[in-house]
């Protein structure tokens, strides 16, 4: 008989398993606990600097911003074109770890739908996009996925145990053409 934690973990894994055939890269991004935020005044004369602590809203905002920067670097203006929006975005499944343990907060991502022309440069594109985020820490790891089911299992390892909501469904991005292929 499985515990509630094991059932939750199995449900997460079952939910994301259909995407495994589309995944290409395993990414780990580490976050700072606080950061100096610099905002330019509206009139363009000077800047306002302040320190902010990391919270759940800033984590979600960092993921959204990272994903927007990565999408721009992978697809350029295709991401804006009405006829290309269904495929001109990466498949990205995010998991956040370290909230309830004594570890630096970090994001695991399973990323796919990367154009073949960008696969070799992908680690540099990830690093460039991540370092533009306010709470980005310089600890970044990007690996090619050879066992997608194994990576998806790894990024959900805390579900049901130390971090029930580690899988960030709201920040994850699924291109419509992949979603339609899975749902049919």
Q: Which pLDDT value is given to residue 184?
A: 52
Task: Identify the pLDDT of residue 163.
Answer: 61
**Phi (first) and psi of residue 145, to 5 degrees:** -85, 125
- As a whole number of angstroms, the longest Cα–Cα distance in the chain is 65
Please give the Cα distance from 145 to 180 (Å, whole number): 23
DSSP state of 118: G
pLDDT tens profile 48-100? 888 999 998 999 999 999 999 999 999 887 677 777 766 778 999 999 988 77
Strands 91-97 and 106-112: antiparallel
**How many distinct structural domains can be found in the chain?**
1
Instruction: Give the residue ranges of the chain where pLDDT is below 50.
Output: none
Query: What predicted TM-score, i.e. pTM, was given to this entire model?
Result: 0.88
Q: What is the span of the domain harbouring residue 41?
A: 4-183
Surface-to-core class of residue 22, CB atoms within 10 Å of its CB (0-12 exposed, 13-18 middle, 19+ buried): buried
Residue 1: which residues within 8 A CB-CB, separation 6 or more?
none
């Amino acid at each position: 008989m499985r515990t509630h934690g094991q059932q939750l973990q199995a449900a997460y894994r079952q939910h994301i398993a259909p995407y495994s055939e589309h995944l290409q890269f395993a990414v780990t991004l580490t976050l700072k606990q606080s950061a100096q935020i610099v905002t330019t005044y509206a009139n363009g004369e000077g800047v306002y600097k302040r320190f902010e602590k990391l919270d759940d809203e800033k984590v979600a905002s960092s993921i959204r911003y990272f994903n927007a920067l990565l999408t721009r670097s992978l697809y350029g203006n295709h991401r804006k074109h009405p006829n290309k929006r269904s495929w001109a975005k990466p498949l990205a499944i995010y998991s956040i770890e370290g909230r309830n343990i004594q570890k630096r907060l970090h994001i695991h991502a399973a990323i796919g739908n990367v154009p073949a022309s960008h696969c070799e440069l992908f680690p540099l594109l990830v690093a460039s996009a991540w370092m533009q985020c306010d709470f980005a820490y310089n600890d970044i790891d990007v690996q090619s996925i050879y066992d997608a089911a194994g990576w998806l299992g790894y990024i959900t390892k805390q579900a049901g145990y130390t971090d029930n909501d580690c899988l960030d469904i709201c920040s994850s991005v699924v291109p419509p053409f992949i979603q339609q292929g899975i749902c049919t």
